[in-house]
Structure 1
Amino acid sequence: MVSLGSGQTVVDLGCGTGVVTRLMLSNVNGLVVVAADPSAEMLEEAKTNLSDVAAKVIFVRAGAENLSKCLPTKVDAVVFCNAIHLISDKALVMSEISKVLGPGRRFAFNTAFFEGAMPAPTHVFYKKLMLKTFRILRRDYGLKHQRREKTEARQFLTPGEYQELLIRYNFRILHQEVVEMRMPLEAVEALLEFDGFIEGALPGIPTALGSVALKAAAAESFDDLSMQWLPRNSLQIVAEKG
């Protein structure tokens, strides 16, 4: 749906270790990828991982909030894989991406952190997960859960709110769908390392301890419910700049 072609330039925003950059280069001959990430450590790891295709990659230290200031020219597409939820100011993200795209150019993103990401049948799992986590924190660390307002990172948008933001910044929605993923325990444990999730679920608890407790509780909950995988929804949107 992003329609990349030879000679085009695409930004892999939040490139991390370079997995998506490599995938795009493997699928499209003659593509140039701008691998952008705010973390110097991640960029160095990406450079190492992509050393065999370095001639096709431009590495830029930039985040979604300052992207337009770090790119000298407009690009043909921006891809933002499962990271937009990490940014509290989503309007700023849309504004910055709009600035680096010319008319008819495309922005594609996905996220597994939005209002609607948890299918109704999984609520039993999450209730059990949290009860077990509270028990582990009390028993093993002497820590008590404190109820607070949701952190900004946990104030996830609905699909409709993402649509409204895109339209506000002169994008036209080309494709939108919610795809159900099947997450084995290992994938759930990776999700439970996300600071935004931990801070929202366990306010006042150190994130490192919270993650340990959540992962232990997840393993117990999988066993209790005889689960092989946990369903979770991913929102996928492709939009075109007007």
Structure 2
Amino acid sequence: MGLIETDETNLYTFEPFAAHAFYTEVNRALVKQTLTHLKPQTAGETLTIVDMACGTGAVTRLIAEELVKQDRVSNIKLVGVDPSAEALRRAQKGMEEAGLPISADFLQGESEDLPRIVQNVDAAFFCNAIHLVPDKLAAFKQVSSILAPKGIFGCNSAFYEGTYVPGTERFYRLWTRRAVGWLKKEHPEARLSRDAKAMAMQWMTRDQYIQDLKQSGFATVETEQNDAIISLDGWRDLGQYWLFIEGALPGVALPLAAKALEVAVYQAGEELGLTEIPRTWLQMVAIKN
């Protein structure tokens, strides 16, 4: 995907948002749903599970926890892959601190490096990132290529057609409007870029996702739509993540845009009388032919 990591983007990470309880629960549900399909292990057989775009390892730890619950702790090869060296360092530290009987290897790489890193994978996860990939069909075909026959793929997103709980759209519009208003007042020199290419946020419908997965060699696709209740503090934390910032206020320097989004989220909440805003996650579990 070629996301460019800099010292500055390392200050505006996804980690605070991922630390909220609702985020853990949404991903725990997907992990559990995916790993129920895991085949029984034969004696001495190693199961390989990969967490793509693992970031700081929040989902990798959930996978390890679920495997412990399933009493599968021996002969497990758990691999986390991410382009960010800083995220991987944090993931390794978090995994060690969790003190689980399953360890993980964290390897630096882009999605196109996957076939070189892992093959014949029993289960693969790609959580909260598929919306950032411009060519989703190509991404699914790549995942299919690293999976063993009957391999399982767990994937989710809260950036798709259907993610807005009816009636909540006005919150997002007002949040952006208030952020732009704050910038105009406090930093009139800051300019939104009309032509800045925000990350590839083409939102697809649930049915389009199913169609692309089936076209990529997945025989069955299960989907669920789970609502998460996100507090204003949660939205504030998402508004401090550099990829979200660049999508919301393209062209504005990260420190200014982050401040604008932080001030504006509480203004929008207060004006609408809201302390929390629900959002629907699309959860997908696909099984390879």
If the length of structure 1 is used for normalisation, what is the TM-score?
A: 0.89
2:167 to 117, 121, 126: 121
- Superposition deviation, residue 39 in structure 1: 1.1
1:204-227 per-residue CA deviation (whole Å, 9 max, x = no partner) reads 323432222112100111122221
Q: Answer yes or no: is the 8 Å Cα contact 1:65–1:92 preserved in 2.
A: no
CA offsets 1:18-47 (integer angstroms, 9 cap, x no match): 222222222213233111111111112212
Match among 179, 182, 187 for residue 141 of structure 1? 187
Q: 2:85 aligns with which of 40, 50, 55?
A: 40
Shift of 1:127: 2.3
For residue 152 of structure 1, report the CA deviation from its aligned partner: 4.6
Match of 1:8 among 43, 47, 51: 47
Q: Give the corresponding residue for 1:193.
A: 240
Distance 1:49 1:149 in 2: 35
User: What is residue 285 of structure 2 aligned with on the other side?
Assistant: 238
- List alignment gaps of at least 5 residues for structure 1: none
Q: State whether residues 173 and 237 of structure 1, in contact with CA within 8 Å, keep that contact through their aligned partners in structure 2.
A: no
Assess, with a 3 A threshold, how the Cα gap between structure 1 residues 140 and 87 changes in structure 2: closer, same or farther: same
What is the aligned counterpart of 2:125 among 71, 74, 79?
79
Matched residues, number: 241
Q: Mapping of 1:130-169 within 5 angstroms?
A: 130-142=176-188, 143-145=190-192, 147=194, 151-169=198-216
The alignment status of 1:69 with 2:108, answered yes or no, reads no
2:178 is aligned with what amino acid? K
User: Alignment identity in percent?
Assistant: 33
User: Which letter maps to 2:270?
Assistant: D
Distance 1:192 1:172 in 2: 37
Give the Cα–Cα distance (whole angstroms) in 2 for the partners of residues 88 and 178 of structure 1.
22
Given the alignment, which residue of 64, 67, 79 partners 1:25? Answer: 64
- The alpha carbon displacement at 1:194 in A equals 3.8
Amino acid paired to 2:120: K
1:139-168 deviations in Å (ceiling 9; x for gaps): 011035455597452322222221222122
Q: Secondary structure at the match of 2:168?
A: helix
CA–CA distance in 1 between the matches of 2:231 and 2:270? 12
The Cα shift of 1:98 comes to 0.8
Aligned to 2:252, the other structure's residue is in SS state coil
Partner of 1:215: 262
Farther-moved stretch of structure 1 (49-58 vs 133-142): 49-58
Structure 2 CA distance for partners of 1:196 and 1:44, relative to 1, 3 Å: closer
Q: Report the residue type matching 1:48 in the other structure.
A: K
The CA deviation at 1:54 is 8.2
What TM-score does the superposition give when structure 2 sets the normalisation length?
A: 0.75
Residues 68-109 of structure 1, C-alpha deviation per residue, up to 9 Å, x if partnerless? 1222x3110001111222222323321221111022111011
Q: Which amino acid aligns with 2:247?
A: G
- 2:240 is paired with a residue whose SS is coil
Structure 2 counterpart SS, 1:231: strand
Distance 1:177 1:169, change over 3 A: same
User: Following TM superposition, by how much is the alpha carbon of 1:120 offset from its aligned partner in structure 2, in angstroms?
Assistant: 2.6
Deviating 4+ runs (over 6 angstroms): none
